[in-house]
Amino acid sequence: MGVVNVTPDSFSDGGQHADEASAIAHGRRLLAEGADILDVGGESTRPGATRPLVEEELGRVVPVISALAGDGAVVSVDTMRHEVAAAALAAGATIVNDVSGGLADPGILRVAADAGATYVAMHWRAHADHMADFATYDGPGGVVAAVRDELAQRVEAALAAGIAPERLVLDPGLGFAKRGRHNWELLADLGPLQALGHPLLVGASRKSFLGRLLADADGTPRAVDEREDATTALSVVLAQAGVWGVRVHHVRSTRDALRVLAALETAREGRADG
């Protein structure tokens, strides 16, 4: 899943593709590099971000989705609002990627259900401007058990709204109301989330926990645009763990790495067959 941020303030590429023409061009580049899905978003969810007006978000994403879907791309809309989801689906999107899992706007579940769209429910506790206040996981089983249980509740809500089980994808929500250690604990133990019975989408690309992992000797985190190697390495590990998809900013390096992995797996299968 290639990221197309049509925003002025996203943490990794805010402003680079904020206008319609550059966002469409960027989406086409990601497709050429091997993206299976283009995830178009018009609201930044970086820590501390404030929300745009509904009209602003609609104006950012709908023309871009229309153009990219018109090119034949599989398009996802990254939104928490039912109005935006409905307009995006009408413009040609087929996936609703809701970082709130329906908590910010429960009406989005019915919109996805009525359209027969694939729905991605992410683990979420609060909006970006105060989500750090909710990064506490002190119960039995820690963050893995909490995310599993809270995602299970979102599964129930999605199914109750009419979303088909085979069209439901879950996301552990790395970095959303989670500290670095929480992200690593989730990545190290995806099994309980996979046991919920739905595919997993993981978005780790360029996130701050990778920047801290790669910090300089003086503790300065690695710059956002210099975290691609770590993102690619993690994508390979996630593919080996059986996730459904990885959400990345730089598609080519991830696609190349996954091709290497696929070639090795094919060779192993051939040796076993022989």
Beta-carbon contacts of 271 under 8 Å, excluding residues fewer than 6 positions away, are: none
pLDDT of 195 over the 60 cut = yes
Catalytic annotation present for 60: no
119 membership: H or E segment, kind and range: strand 118-122
Angle between helix axes 142-160 and 107-115 (nearest 10 degrees) is 60
Q: Where are the alpha helices (DSSP H) in the chain?
A: 20-33, 54-70, 82-91, 107-115, 142-160, 180-188, 191-194, 208-213, 228-240, 251-273
High-pLDDT (> 70) share of the chain, %: 95
SS3 percent helix, strand, coil of the chain, rounded to 5, is 50, 10, 40
* Domains observed in the chain: 2-273 (3.20.20.20)
pLDDT of 13 over the 60 cut = no
Beta-carbon contacts of 60 under 8 Å, excluding residues fewer than 6 positions away, are: 6, 7, 18, 23, 42, 52
Instruction: Compute the average pLDDT of residues 9-17.
Output: 55
pLDDT: is 78 or 46 the higher one? 78
pLDDT: is 104 or 269 the higher one? 104
**Within 13 Å of residue 31, how many CA atoms lie on the same side as its CB?**
17
pLDDT of residue 47: 75
Q: How far apart are CA 267 and CA 269, in angstroms?
A: 5
Res. 44 pLDDT band, cuts 50 70 90: confident
Q: Which of 178, 227, 247, 255 is catalytic?
A: 247
Are 91 and 42 spatial neighbours (Cβ–Cβ below 8 Å)?
no
Give the pLDDT confidence of 109-161 residue by residue, as tens digits: 999 999 999 999 999 999 988 899 999 999 999 999 999 999 999 999 999 99
| CA 6, 15, 47, 74 torsion-angle sign | positive
Q: Which of 158, 43, 85 is nearest to 150 (CA)?
A: 158
Catalytic annotation present for 247: yes
pLDDT of 12 over the 70 cut = no
Average pLDDT, the chain: 94
Q: How far apart are CA 73 and CA 87, in angstroms?
A: 17
Tokens linked to 11: 């943490």
Assign residue 69 a region: left if phi > 0, alpha if psi is -120 to 50, beta otherwise? alpha
- The alpha carbons of the chain give a radius of gyration, in whole angstroms, of 18
Q: Which of 206, 207, 222, 255 is catalytic?
A: 207
Give the distance from CA 57 to its chain's centroid.
18
